[in-house]
Amino acid sequence: MDELLSIVWWNTSLSPPVVSKRNLATDQKRTQVAKVIKILMKSKYDFICLGEVSLEDIVFVSKYLNLFSSEYNSALGAQQQGRLYFDTAILYRKEHSLVSPGNGYDCLYTTISVGSRNLKLFERYEFFHHNYDKLLTFYLSHWPSQLRNNTLNTNTISSRLRGEVERDLNEQKHIIMMGDYNVEPYSDEMVHNLQSSRDQAIVLKKPNVFYNPCWKFLPIGQSQKIKGTYYYSSGNFHTWSVIDQILVSSSFLKNEWKFNDRFTSIIDVELLLDGEDEVYNPSDHWPLSTLINRINNNVEH
């Protein structure tokens, strides 16, 4: 009998991690984001990972959802560290257990220095799955926007991130990387620096390579309503991009785990909200979800 590990990543666009844009979302926009999350919770996703949120956003959304009385807890990564704003949070089913990193927070924050600047590297969360005896390790990232010509920064961040992830790979941990990378699956940052592949056979042969199922969204089909995870109307050459991605370590492709590409999808928020009073996506990003099958060999017959 199979079990499912279900995960969503969504850049909500509520609070971009800069002081001039943080905590400026209207209550209407926060409410619309909460409505989307409420439907995802009804679908019983194990982990709902959010980007571009502030602590105040999560407090508002939690009250709207009555999170305390729900089947979910929250892990908060939306904190200011020095002059940097980290902007993620995870809503997770209470049957799973958050593992404290021992720093007084829900996740591990890591930064790097590049000349006179400090850059965010990642927020690292760990959980015990309710029916699995190993840790699930999540690396959530929000890389600088290419609209401001940050190629050098993303190249440095991706290379350093890979170095950090190597430690967990050497311990054979089950790792999921996700976020708004602001580059597409074929970029050097994703392929060469993070060492990710679109080919499951290569990942199985080279277990330190990550599998990236988001290649399947390229080329972008013109017949599709949603043609990527991010829409930018002023793009010079195209308006849709696949910059939100989920990558999994090779451990999710073998033994008791089975990864099927068809269970990775971009969620149509407007379809999700069909029947609500207001049907629109409050973000310029679209949620990305994945399901990973696990064979449960402990079922009694």
Q: How confident is the model at residue 233 (pLDDT cuts 50, 70, 90)?
A: confident
CB 291 within 8 A of CB 265: no
Tens digit of each residue's pLDDT (9 = 90 or more) over 67-78: 999 999 999 999
- Whole-angstrom distance, CA of residue 45 vs CA of residue 261: 17
DSSP conformation class of 79: -
Q: How confident is the model at residue 301 (pLDDT cuts 50, 70, 90)?
A: very low
- Whole-angstrom distance, CA of residue 228 vs CA of residue 220: 7
% of the chain surpassing 90 pLDDT:
75
Triad 252, 257, 261: Cα angle to 5°: 70
Sheet holding 47-51, edge to edge: 72-76, 88-93, 47-51, 2-11, 288-295, 257-266
- Whole-angstrom distance, CA of residue 286 vs CA of residue 142: 15
Find tokens 């602001």 and name the residue: 182
Tens digit of each residue's pLDDT (9 = 90 or more) over 107-137: 999 999 887 788 999 999 999 988 787 899 9
pLDDT value of position 298: 57
Give the global pTM: 0.95
Say what the alpha-carbon torsion angle 50, 56, 62, 68 is, to the nearest 10 degrees. 110
CA separation, residue 230 to residues 50, 233, 235, 262 (Å): 15, 10, 11, 20
- Whole-angstrom distance, CA of residue 130 vs CA of residue 108: 22
CB 130 within 8 A of CB 136: no
- Whole-angstrom distance, CA of residue 131 vs CA of residue 96: 9
Listed in sequence order, the DSSP H helices in the chain are 27-42, 55-65, 151-170, 188, 200-205, 269-272
**Pairing verdict, β 2-11 and 196-197:** unpaired
